Amino acid sequence: MTATPDLATPQLASPDLLRSVFRRHAAGVAVITAHGDGGPVGFTATSLTSVSAEPPLLSFSIGTGSSSWPAVAESDHVGVHILGEHQQDLAATFARSGADRFGAPTAWREGPEGVPVLDDVLAWLVCRVMGRVPAGNHRIVLAEVVHGDPAGPGRPLLYHQGRFNVLRD
């Protein structure tokens, strides 16, 4: 069932309007990682986008107030991890401010270019940062894929209506 848009009483643009609309947009869940001066950093992202196949480019956004931003701002390379439906707890850990994201039970190792690579994900990439574009209180990071593995088993984790969800048949 679909609703007919109410064009007589549209809401004015606001942060709340944008958040409300995007809560209805289901998105895949990724964790972005980087190596910082104080060790590994990472955060949960639903803003991951494929940009180009030739050359292989992607983008994601990160808030400049994020604890991971200083490392991402300085890193030459980042890790991109596509989470599976079995990783709701991992997604929540990397989304929670102040969490020990790389402590137990998070399993990870140093990957290509010194980037932290998470274990047991559906797929992972290591990317060379090409640019950081200012966008309000965020930066859009453009990165070129240099290494990766798409072979993890399982189905993707999704984010919808403020919760982590799984696909249903």
Strand bridging mode 123-135 / 138-149? antiparallel
Could you read off the pLDDT of 69-110 as tens digits, one per residue? Answer: 999 999 999 999 999 999 999 999 999 999 999 999 999 999
Could you read off the pLDDT of 10-57 as tens digits, one per residue? Answer: 889 999 999 899 899 999 999 999 999 999 999 999 999 999 999 999
Pick from 62, 76, 87, 73: which is nearest to 146 by CA? Answer: 76
Strand bridging mode 39-45 / 157-160? unpaired
**What pLDDT is stored for residue 1 in this prediction?**
61
Q: Please name the helix (run of DSSP H) or strand (run of DSSP E) that holds residue 71, with its range, or none.
A: helix 69-74
Number of neighbours of residue 130 by Cβ within 10 angstroms: 14
